[in-house]
Chain A
Amino acid sequence: MQIDMNNFFEESIKMIVKIRTSEEFIAEKFFDEKIFSFLHLTIGQEAGAVGVMSVLSNNDIAMGNHRSHGHYLAKGGDLPKMIYEVFGDQRGCCGGFGGSMHMLDRSVNFNGSTPILGSIPPLAVGQAFASKENGIKNVTVVFLGDGAAEEGVFMESVNLAASKKCNIIFVIEDNRYSVASSHSDRKSERYSHQKLIEGLGAIYIRENGQNVKKVHDAAILAREYALSGKPVILHLDLLRRHGHSGPMQENDNADYRIEDTLEYRNENDCLLIAKKEAIKSGLSESKIEEWISSAREETLEIVSKVKETIDVRDIS
């Protein structure tokens, strides 16, 4: 959802809180309905989605992966429909067919998310190519993790997009892990995203994904390049708060984490950083706290109401 620069911190902070609050609610209620719709929470790394979407017009297209609640909401996706979908109610954004890993709101051009790693980049290239063919001036943004970016088809998609001059941004959300495998488990010591991407003829931008303002600024640049027919890879460094999947918090320091201890993740939390940046820009702390609590209350009110009406069984 495009954010008005005059209210950047207010809007982006509220969106981060909306995503976080709704996911915390899902996590808490996850076992209630025994749906077990395969869940991957984005808590901790919301700033990536919010910062990127903040520069997109409604006309721009976004697509996502297995961890896409944040992408969907930040693009302006309907919150009640997301909750219904995750809990398996047929009023969900995919009619209950998809579940948590399949987010869709075509009214805001959030054109789908799919969990098979590497499946979505070429599909997004297709959507971008179709925009060109249909004479629509927009960009297509596709989100994938650092793990999925290892699939050969991702490189093939970048090459294809570059050769067809598609208006596309591939956002790599790099939370350091594929499940519990770190980069060093999966990559040679000399692995270079930059060399790979630039070698394919695309633009490579890397940014601190925990800082929503920095993501926003990088996304503005990325969108300009993409609109000129140069595909962009926007590589965001993020921190996932929870475990890879399921509703469980990772309270203790899981043994696979290297330096991103719980303490480190808390210190570098994207909401905290956004708050600090907002204060630096002259906004008052009490005002910011007001936004946070109002966004939280508003979200909780919506999701609690939806939850009360959930109807997924006609058997006991």
Chain B
Amino acid sequence: MSETLVNFVEAINLAHKAGLQDNNKSYIIGLGVNYQNGADGTTKNLSSIYPDKVLDVPVSEAAFTGMCVGMATAGLNPIVHHGRVEFALLAMDQILTQAAKWNYMFGGDYPCKFGARLNIGRQWGNGPQHTSSYNSLFVNTPGLNVLWPSRPSEAYTFTKALHHAPSPTIMMEHRYLFQTKDSFNENNNDPLVIPQVSFYGKSSKTIILTYGDGLVEAIKTKNKINDSDIQIICINAFVRDRELHEDIIKAIESCDNLICLDTSNYQFGLMQGLIGSLAEKINLKEKIKIFSPPFIPCATSPKLVKNYYPFSPDVINYLNEINVTKERASDYLFDDINLPANIDFSENVPSKIIKSTLTE
């Protein structure tokens, strides 16, 4: 039981420890995962306890990811790790064309218990080739479960789920969240039951819709203005089909202002997909406002990225303009924009969680 404060990295590490212990068919495979402080600390010290289960590999993403897919079709539970989503792109055939379709194309009795951890998104100074947010590639592929932990407690639950994944499951880890903190119980609940959508706050006329590292700015916004004026809906996962839960639709239908907080490129991406899905059912035109990066990659120079990611002051000032709040916020300073998120989530517990179960 851990009710102490842990960060995102430590949460994944704890879950790996539990996962390797609970399931002796599970593996962690990737470049440098066996280092003492492997995978940015998420696999710290694991190889000394499980030297045959935590495996370093040649620099050959296509091959070692494919090996994991092969293992996953032979009854094992491998988790492949890629330190940036860009590195996983070298293995797209194996993930999208092999793993995702395996069970389906062979008639439905040939499961592929493949798990993947892909680091994604913003990281200061990493420039255009290490900060991409290719969420939509994965969400748009039938046959994949896609998980976005937005806080350490979810990173814990999701990582544990990967150790038992009955079907191809991809965890998208925002590196920006690695230093955020949280407290939670290390429980023995069914590892396949995972949060799919988290609601923060009671129903409200103003809703912030977000996922992954967007939760940081959403929470900062909510905490700054009168708490009850805002509800946050945070998408945590898509399991099997991409249907939106009716509670999301109902909440958004009855709100006046829908703020979409997207840290990825919006155009034809995950968030625009969500909005498209909602727009099939309800009219959003009068109430929607999108906060997202411009449709360009993320540069390295601070001057060039100053206005890249959407930040809480922008949202607060917009809410002021539309008379939701009297608060105004001053622009972020250099460190607020550029250093990793350092928020403690433990004071912000979801008021409602819609759960889902991973299945074959």
A contact set with B: CB distance below 8 Å: 34-38, 88-90, 92, 95-99, 101-102, 114-118, 147-148, 150-153, 178-181, 185-187, 255-256, 312-316
- The A interface is mostly helix, strand or loop, or mixed, namely loop
| A121 CB to nearest chain B CB (Å) | 13
Given A152-B63, A186-B59, output 4 extra A-B contacts at Cβ < 8 Å: A38-B125, A96-B301, A97-B127, A97-B301
| Residues in B neighbouring A180, C-beta threshold 8 A | 32, 35
| A118 CB to nearest chain B CB (Å) | 7
| A67 CB to nearest chain B CB (Å) | 14
A115-B130, A116-B86 known; A97-B299 Cβ under 8 A: yes
| Residues in A neighbouring B355, C-beta threshold 8 A | none
6 contacts between A and B (CB under 8 A): A90-B303, A96-B304, A97-B128, A148-B59, A178-B31, A313-B334
Instruction: Check if B129 sits within 8 Å of A114, measured CB to CB.
Output: yes
CA distance in complex: A106, B87 (Å): 27
CA distance in complex: A180, B56 (Å): 10
Number of interface residues of B (CB under 8 A): 37
| Residues in B neighbouring A315, C-beta threshold 8 A | 306, 331-334, 337
- The B interface is mostly helix, strand or loop, or mixed, namely loop
Q: Which of B90, B127, B306 contacts A101 (CB under 8 A)?
A: B127
Instruction: Check if B59 sits within 8 Å of A312, measured CB to CB.
Output: no
| Residues in B neighbouring A312, C-beta threshold 8 A | 301-303
| Residues in B neighbouring A90, C-beta threshold 8 A | 301, 303-304
Please name the residue on chain A nearest to B87 by beta carbon: A116
CA distance in complex: A115, B35 (Å): 22
A34-B338, A186-B56, A315-B331 known; A99-B62 Cβ under 8 A: no
| A116 CB to nearest chain B CB (Å) | 6
| Residues in A neighbouring B299, C-beta threshold 8 A | 96-98
| B89 CB to nearest chain A CB (Å) | 8
Tell me, yes or no, whether B57 is within 8 Å of chain A by CB: yes
A99-B127, A315-B331, A315-B333 known; A151-B90 Cβ under 8 A: yes
A35-B125, A118-B90 known; A152-B62 Cβ under 8 A: yes
B contact set with A: CB distance below 8 Å: 31-32, 35-36, 56-63, 86-87, 90, 124-130, 299-304, 306, 331-335, 337-339
Instruction: Check if A179 sits within 8 Å of B31, measured CB to CB.
Output: yes
CA distance in complex: A293, B264 (Å): 49
Instruction: Check if A36 sits within 8 Å of B125, measured CB to CB.
Output: yes
Instruction: Check if A181 sits within 8 Å of B334, measured CB to CB.
Output: no
Instruction: Check if A37 sits within 8 Å of B127, measured CB to CB.
Output: yes
Q: Which of B35, B57, B90, B304 contacts A97 (CB under 8 A)?
A: B304
Sort A-B residue pairs by CB-CB distance and give the 6 closest, nearest first: A96-B301, A99-B300, A36-B125, A88-B301, A147-B59, A186-B58
Instruction: Check if A88 sits within 8 Å of B302, measured CB to CB.
Output: yes
Instruction: Check if A35 sits within 8 Å of B334, measured CB to CB.
Output: no
| Residues in A neighbouring B87, C-beta threshold 8 A | 116-117
| A54 CB to nearest chain B CB (Å) | 29
Instruction: Check if A117 sits within 8 Å of B129, measured CB to CB.
Output: no
Please name the residue on chain A nearest to B336 by beta carbon: A315
Instruction: Check if B300 sits within 8 Å of A185, measured CB to CB.
Output: no
| A277 CB to nearest chain B CB (Å) | 33
A152-B63, A181-B56 known; A313-B302 Cβ under 8 A: yes
CA distance in complex: A101, B124 (Å): 14
Instruction: Check if B301 sits within 8 Å of A38, measured CB to CB.
Output: no
CA distance in complex: A102, B131 (Å): 14
CA distance in complex: A98, B305 (Å): 12
| B16 CB to nearest chain A CB (Å) | 19
CA distance in complex: A37, B61 (Å): 24
| Residues in A neighbouring B129, C-beta threshold 8 A | 101-102, 114-116
| A215 CB to nearest chain B CB (Å) | 24
Please name the residue on chain A nearest to B83 by beta carbon: A179
CA distance in complex: A187, B337 (Å): 42
CA distance in complex: A96, B57 (Å): 34
A98-B127, A115-B129, A118-B90 known; A37-B300 Cβ under 8 A: yes
Please name the residue on chain B nearest to A255 by beta carbon: B36
